[in-house]
Chain A
Amino acid sequence: MLLDTWIPGFIPDLVKAGQVMLALGTGMAIGNMRESGFSKTLKLCLVVMLLGLCIAFFMSFKTLVLTLLALTFLSGGLVAGGVLNKQLILGTAIVCGLGLGSSVLPMSGQFLAGHVLILANLAGIGLLVWGSATLSNWAQHRQTALWPNIGIRIMGSWLLAISALMLALELAGMGSL
């Protein structure tokens, strides 16, 4: 029973696409951070996600999907542009972490399957952020070949493009998120 709740909890139905994209974008943007600040920024983002979850308990976000897509657009832009500015990456990690944390609570404000689902979802998103951040940081700062770096930047531009299209479809009332 617990496992049945745990597995779908990794990605809840309501905002899964927006969540996954933002988790990947956030991780890849954090990966832009050079060695000295990388671990701290990643840890900070994960802590802020918890804070976002706490905030979501007291506030309802009616435009959560749009917010997630807008944040994905931002983080994708940072990755595509190869932005290395420490403050900008830190700010993005905090804002995106808050967005991700608040998206863990179902949009209706109800506990769909109780606390286990929420914890599982938070763990899943955290894992996605950690994985993509580690991969991105390796590709950009920890090896000498340029192709992995290019691959990450192209993926960033794809995230940016996909989120822009999804935003437009949502705003035009043609989305199905």
Chain B
Amino acid sequence: MNRFEITSKNLTAFLFIAMGSLIAFPAFAHSGSGMTGGFMSGFLHPVLGWDHVVAMVAVGLWGAFLRAPAIYILPIVFPAVMAIGGAAGILGVPLPYVEVGIALSSVLLGLLIAFSVEAPLWLAAVIVGIFAIFHGHAHGTELPHATNAVSFAIGFVLATGMLHLFGIGLGVLVGRPGGKIAIRTMGGLIALAGFGFLFGII
């Protein structure tokens, strides 16, 4: 078996776990443990903003579309650079056009997927890294002040990683019959959503 081959059984289990995680975790938000105080606050931060969700899924999707090693390099690059952007936001380092940058990330990543652009790895990493700074900065500046540092950071990074994994899970459909068209269509929808974010329609 090829090292990157994904069986139907594995794929189904993977998507089930990824979706289950995304659906189940917000349910804990109502446990009364305090939204502003820790893990759930951090976990929900990337999950509750559609502009963030769409872009993070797009990263995973594009990574899977580009295949190895992009399938794992992009999800490694994004959280690492995003955290640095987040740190800058927390420390009050200004960054202009943050919301525009976030919306453009959906537009550009969506178009790259829709037009099946096979960028070299370094370029893909740079594109993803630049957008990660905007996403991280936005999260950093919006951070609730009563937050527990440890649990917030863990929740925040895990949620981001799960969104990437969800995108990768969808992206591996590219090897299935009709999968490439489905993924490119998703890319088009992501780009459209990005335009919606950009012009304030969504």
A168 interfacial contact with B, CB 8 Å: yes
Render A1-44 as a binary contact track against B, CB cut-off 8 A, 1 for contact.
Answer: 00000000000000001000000000000000000000000000
B76's partner among A147, A157, A166 (CB-CB below 8 A) is A157
A150-B72, A161-B157, A169-B90 known; A80 vs B80 contact (CB < 8 Å) = yes
How far, in whole Å, are A177 and B68 apart by their CA atoms in the complex?
38
Tell which of B81-89, B112-120, B170-178 binds the partner. Answer: B81-89
Q: Is the beta-carbon distance between A158 and B79 smaller than 8 angstroms?
A: yes
Render B137-160 as a binary contact track against A, CB cut-off 8 A, 1 for contact.
Answer: 000100101011110111011101
- Size category of the A interface is 20 to 34
Q: Is the beta-carbon distance between B76 and A154 smaller than 8 angstroms?
A: yes
A171 interfacial contact with B, CB 8 Å: yes
A95 interfacial contact with B, CB 8 Å: no
Hey, which chain A residues are within 8 Å of B157, CB to CB? Answer: 158, 161-162, 165
Render A142-171 as a binary contact track against B, CB cut-off 8 A, 1 for contact.
Answer: 001111001001101110111111111111
Q: Shortest Cβ distance from B156 into chain A, in angstroms?
A: 7
B100 interfacial contact with A, CB 8 Å: no
Closest B residue to A170 by beta carbon equals B149
Hey, which chain B residues are within 8 Å of A17, CB to CB? Answer: 150
Greatest chain A CB density within 10 A among B76, B157, B160, B161 is at B76
Q: Is the beta-carbon distance between A154 and B147 smaller than 8 angstroms?
A: no
B194 interfacial contact with A, CB 8 Å: no
Greatest chain A CB density within 10 A among B83, B147, B152 is at B83
How far, in whole Å, are A174 and B38 apart by their CA atoms in the complex?
12
A175-B149, A177-B150 known; A164 vs B86 contact (CB < 8 Å) = yes
How far, in whole Å, are A166 and B152 apart by their CA atoms in the complex?
9
Hey, which chain B residues are within 8 Å of A156, CB to CB? Answer: 76
Hey, which chain B residues are within 8 Å of A146, CB to CB? Answer: 3-4, 68
Hey, which chain A residues are within 8 Å of B150, CB to CB? Answer: 17, 166, 176-177
A80-B80, A146-B3, A166-B149 known; A174 vs B90 contact (CB < 8 Å) = yes
How far, in whole Å, are A80 and B147 apart by their CA atoms in the complex?
27
Closest A residue to B165 by beta carbon equals A154
Q: Is the beta-carbon distance between B90 and A154 smaller than 8 angstroms?
A: no
How far, in whole Å, are A156 and B75 apart by their CA atoms in the complex?
11
Render B101-127 as a binary contact track against A, CB cut-off 8 A, 1 for contact.
Answer: 000000000000000000000000000
Q: Is the beta-carbon distance between A172 and B75 smaller than 8 angstroms?
A: no
Closest A residue to B10 by beta carbon equals A147
Q: Shortest Cβ distance from A75 into chain B, in angstroms?
A: 13
How far, in whole Å, are A94 and B86 apart by their CA atoms in the complex?
29
Q: Is the beta-carbon distance between B4 and A158 smaller than 8 angstroms?
A: no
Hey, which chain A residues are within 8 Å of B77, CB to CB? Answer: 157
Q: Is the beta-carbon distance between B3 and A145 smaller than 8 angstroms?
A: yes
A157-B76, A158-B157, A158-B158 known; A168 vs B4 contact (CB < 8 Å) = no
Q: Contacts A168-B87, A169-B152 given; 11 further ones with Cβ under 8 A?
A: A77-B80, A146-B68, A150-B72, A160-B83, A161-B82, A162-B83, A164-B83, A168-B91, A169-B90, A174-B143, A176-B149
Which 4 pairs from chain A and chain B are nearest by CB? A168-B87, A161-B83, A175-B149, A165-B153
18 interchain pairs (CB within 8 A)? Answer: A80-B76, A80-B80, A146-B68, A154-B161, A157-B76, A158-B161, A162-B83, A164-B84, A164-B87, A165-B90, A165-B140, A165-B156, A168-B86, A168-B87, A168-B91, A172-B91, A174-B149, A177-B150
